[in-house]
């Protein structure tokens, strides 16, 4: 837990020794950080930052794994349905197309963004940011991309989509012959890797590495 600074000593403290809670604007003295530390705001309980070891290497491995899984997860069939000899397949992409062709362009665009476009762009942003830290090139673009990434975070909804797949399966299982496809497996794997990546890549350390404040962050 961090300690709130006393008011009289404030002006002598340098900016670098201070930190403010993003959610309630409480000003704190920056606590000393060691690997594995998690700092919370004493007033509202918001997580200020977490310090992890080998952030860049681990995140890099996870980003590459997620990017490899992305194509099979979105374009391999999630399920096959068989009704009286007629068979249909469902992929994430065919769901978008189905809505679009039925005159629901608006909804199709929302589904496309939340389930395909934003997750991919998020991964690409993270990959570019990590590359720029690792190779020490284009830090200013890295900063810009990481800002864009933070705006997209909320809008990638892979876990909600997975729940949607489950509900659809339950609705269909009595109506027709249903079999699950390899796409579902890839989709679940992509989701797990992506969640793991978000936990690993602690924003506080990435910002410091991007602005060159922390020389050890590259390990």
Site for another protein in 48-87 (CB under 8 A): 78-79, 81, 83-84, 86
Find the helix packing angle between 182-200 and 118-135, rounded to 10°.
50
Spell out the residues 6+ positions from residue 86 whose beta carbon is closer than 8 angstroms to its own. none
CB-nearer residue toward another protein: 38 or 150 = 150
Short-list 190, 210, 188, CA closest to 55 = 210
CB-nearer residue toward another protein: 6 or 216 = 6
* Polymer length of the chain: 219
Distance CA 208, CA 212 (A): 6
User: Is residue 187 a contact residue for another protein (CB under 8 A)?
Assistant: no
Question: Radius of gyration (Cα) for the chain, nearest Å?
Answer: 22
> Can you say how many angstroms the Cα of residue 170 is from the centroid of all Cα atoms in its chain?
28
Stretch that binds another protein, among 53-61, 68-76, 118-126, 146-154 (CB under 8 A): 146-154
User: Is residue 137 a contact residue for another protein (CB under 8 A)?
Assistant: no
Compute the least distance from the CB of residue 193 to another protein, in Å: 19
> Under rule CB under 8 A, which residues in 20-49 are in contact with another protein?
20, 22-27, 42-45
Compute the least distance from the CB of residue 42 to another protein, in Å: 5
Pick from 61, 64, 143, 152: which binds another protein (CB under 8 A)?
143
Compute the least distance from the CB of residue 41 to another protein, in Å: 8
86-90 β-sheet, strand order = 86-90, 79-83, 177-180
């Amino acid at each position: 837990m961090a300690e709130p600074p006393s008011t009289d000593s404030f002006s002598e403290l340098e900016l670098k020794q201070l930190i403010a809670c993003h959610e309630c604007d409480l000003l704190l003295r920056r606590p000393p950080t060691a690997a594995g530390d998690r700092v919370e705001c004493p007033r509202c309980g918001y997580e200020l930052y977490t310090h992890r070891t080998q952030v860049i290497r681990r995140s890099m491995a996870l980003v590459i794994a997620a990017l490899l899984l992305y194509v099979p997860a979105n374009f391999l069939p999630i399920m096959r349905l068989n009704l009286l000899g007629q068979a249909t397949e469902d992929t994430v992409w065919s769901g978008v197309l189905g809505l679009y062709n039925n005159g629901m362009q608006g909804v199709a665009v929302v589904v496309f963004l939340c389930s395909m476009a934003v997750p991919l762009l998020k991964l690409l942003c993270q990959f570019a940011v990590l590359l720029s830290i690792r190779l020490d090139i284009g830090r200013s673009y890295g900063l810009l991309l990481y800002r864009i990434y933070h705006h997209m975070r909320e809008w990638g909804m892979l876990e909600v989509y997975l729940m949607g797949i489950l509900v659809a399966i339950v609705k269909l299982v009595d109506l027709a012959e249903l079999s699950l496809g390899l796409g579902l497996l890839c989709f679940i794997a992509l989701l797990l890797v992506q969640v793991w990546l978000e936990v690993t890549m602690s924003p506080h350390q990435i910002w410091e590495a991007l602005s060159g404040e922390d020389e050890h962050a590259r390990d």
